[in-house]
Structures are given as C-alpha cells and as structure tokens.
A and B are shown apart, each in its own frame.
Chain A
C-alpha cells in the first residue's frame, strides 16, 4: 500500500522523529538546546537544508550514478549549508554568532545525509519535500521543547529576540540544566516519556 503524502509528512513528527525514534543528529540538538532562541534558529536552518537537499537529490536521482551518490549528496548538502552560513552571516548576525560552529556542522549531521540516502534518492520530489518538512519539524519541535526546559530550568527565565518571555521569581535555577550533562538528562527523560506514551497507545 502506498503511503500518502500527508503521512510522509506526519510520520517524521512522532513515529519516526529523527531525534527520539531514529536517534540521529543528536550532537547538534544537545548543543544548541540550551537557549530557545538558538533552538529556533538551528531548527529553521537544519530544516531548510534538509528540504532543499531532499528536493535537489530527488530531482537529480535518476542522473546520479549509484557508485558516486554519497559524494554527490555531500556536495549538495555542503553547498546548501554554506549558502545558509553566508546568508545568516549577512542578514541574521545574532543567530550566526550564537550558533557559531554548529551551522557548518549541519553538513555532517547524519539526519540530513540519512534522509537523502534513505528517502529522497528513492522517491519523487513532492514526497521528498513532505519527508524533509516532517523530519525538520520533528527535529525543531524536540530541540524547542528541550530548550524551554533547559533555559527556564537552568537560568530561571526565557529570553528570546531581546524580550524576556517568562521569568521565574524566587527560584534558584539548577545550573546543570544549562550544561551538557543537563542536556543528556533532559533528552533521556523526554525520550523515556515518549516511549511510555507510545507503548500505552498500542
């Protein structure tokens, strides 16, 4: 039975969430989820690269010789990442400086190469867009939720785009949530909760 395009999109959000279920692309997710603002920038940047590389890989898939497909995917992904990098440097300096090395590192994010290899190389353009959008949204949602927990819990407030959105008074924030161990704790607990919820549904 052929999956619908809508299904290609929605499956990336929970059942095949790149972070919680497929468990790929973790390092950037753990690194940038200490601030909500960074999580949004990173989510948008990674989703853009994923959708764009999915489209291009899908378009050229019949012309790409099988033996050299991986280097070609890498060149495609690296080009889009560099475009994002240059564009952010010119127009979104705050985001560019906050994310730093994590933008160029999108190139080696296995989530994106993984989608090119596992999906876009075998499917048409429209379905590849749906897949890229769904996986991108799944990735963005997870780092966004993690960032809310880590920033609010670790600093006692959420500051995004120069506005304080929430500020907890009289709360001594545990700094560990801001550091890398805190990222692992948050990620592990969320992943466990999601697994439990999914088991219940079965």
Chain B
C-alpha cells in the first residue's frame, strides 16, 4: 500500500506549482448521476397516474407525532431530475472558472438524488424513514468499530487487514464467555481481550519478526476463521449451553429519545451503540488532541523523526495496534450480544473487509471512516426496507448498489487516498 503514498507525492507537487489543472472528476460524476436520474425518474418514471410516495417520519410510540409527507411520485422525480441537471451544470461552470466546488453542493446533490430515488422506488407505498435510519445505525455498528480499530492501527504505521479476524474473535469469545458466566457485560470484556490478542499476534509478527504486514493480516483472518469454525463444530454445536448468551435490550434514553426522527434513530439503541458514540469521540480526540495521538501519528508518518526525538517507535506502535484490536473486538460482540444471540460459523461474513474499505474510503480519519461505514450500513438497510415494500428493480441490483456507489465514490470523489507515509513498513534502527 506504500505505492500510493509514493506515487502521490510528485503528482501533488506538480499540481501545487502549476495550479491551473482542472479536475473534471466531480462534474463527470455529477453528470453521470444526473443522466441516471433523468432516465430513472423521467423516462422510466413511475407514478404517472398520480401515485403518491409517502414518507413516514414518526413511529407510532413517539410522543411528538410528525405528519406523514406524501409527494406525487412523478412530479417529484421530474423536479429533482431537473435540479440535479442544473447542479451538474453548475459544477461544470465552477470547474471551468477554476473555482472550487463547495462540499455543500456535493452533499446537496447526494441528498436530492437519494430523496428522488426513494420517491421513485416507493411509488404508491410508504417508506418508514425512522426505521430506515435506525437500522442504518444498528447495522453500521460493527463496521464503525472495525474501521476505528483499523484507523488506530494504520495511523501508527501497521497495516491492519485482520479486522475480520478481530471481529470474528470478538464475536466468538463474547458468545462463549457471556453464556458461561451468564453475564453479557463480561462477554463484552472477553470480546475486547480476544480482539487485543489477535492484534498482539499481528503486532508481534509485524514489529518483532518483520513479516510483511499484509501477509500476517490475511493469514490471521484465515487462522481465526478456521479456529472459530473448528471450535464451533467440535465444542459449541454439541453443547448448546455454551452458545446462548443474553442479548442486550434496547435502552431508551429519557427525553433525548423523544426528539423527532433523531431521537428514535440515535437514542433507542443497545448499549453497544452508545459505547460506539463514545468510541468515535475518544478515538478522534485521542488521535488529534492528545500528546499520545501526536506520537502515534508521528510513528506512522515518519518513524525515524519520532525516534530521533526519543519516542519508542515499536512500543508506541504495539500499544496503538493493541488498542485498535480492543475496539475491533468489541465490535465483534455486536454480532452475538447485539443482534443474533448465538455464534455461527463465519458470522462476520466479510464485514471486516467492508470496514477495511471504510478505513481507506474515510482516508484514515476516524470521523470520515465512521461516515463511510454509515454509508455502507445505510445501503444495506435501504435494500432491506425496499425489499419489504416491494422494489421496482430486481433485488440483486439493489444489493449491488452500495458497492457500485462506493466504486464511483472512490474513483470520483476520493481519488488518491493517501495512507500514512510509513504504513506497512517495519521500523529498523
């Protein structure tokens, strides 16, 4: 992964000196989506006989009831398509005049496209907006934990491909320990310990034995999948009492949970999600506002310089990687204690790799990685919701959508994401 960092440096320098190069990436992406919206909402427009698309904004048990929003499907689609075309034209004009495209414009574009798409898909039926968003936060939880763990480790200069292994180890040990002790909180602790153990193996091989970090990561994934599957077949499957942990209930936070839309989405979740909010804030604060975080970033960017000023590079890296494992492992507990209530073979099902994608998509920044993880969670849940109300497109294409959007986003908006300079390189004095 060091290739990226090496190849970007001269390119960005070239841009800085000439400063007259226009980047057409965003206009092209906007244009593509504008054309797509014209085709979907206008040419293939649904609801031409006056159907309505209804957005339900409140759940039945909410104190403050918002009215349902009913939009005429076809008219909404046409208006949104026209606005999107105008926005795309505006972006072309801005780039042509060498102006920067404001981030607000991008967010507005994405939101409008989303509303247009939802209206189009929900022609003649109702979309439960709170349900859509609640599921998004819930489904994103393991991704966010995994991505935070990955960010911590990679900021310190150790490539972490083993997020999948950390999640799976956390899921397995939390299920077993919570069942054996009858206390899900001890299960959470066990998940953290398991994640940390996986990380320590990664760190030991990467830092002490100087094995290529991608190799260790991939092998650890395979190893943990094999170990947990083997133990599941041999130990858990025959005796069910080792694999039936209590699942955390949803906790409503008084007052906050009654705020319209935001309340149910953010404050009627399980304790795992609440700890996730804290974890995001702590990782951000720790990395960017503390002396320790400065050191972690220093050993990830320029270990030699850090060593010169007296920072113990390998010890700092070891601690950061282990903490990353603690966080990822905690996320693994979501699968067993937060959702399913039992361990299954390979139950993380590639989520660790999506979390890895979120780390890179989020440019190795905890907040951006969290947003990327939320995007994946949203897309997954959107497909679930549209599957229930009856989607006009084949469900496979709905399932495909988040991944296609990610490819477009990575190619169009993010472009060359720059890894920490020393990511993946062992430090040898």
Asked if A and B are interacting partners, one says: no
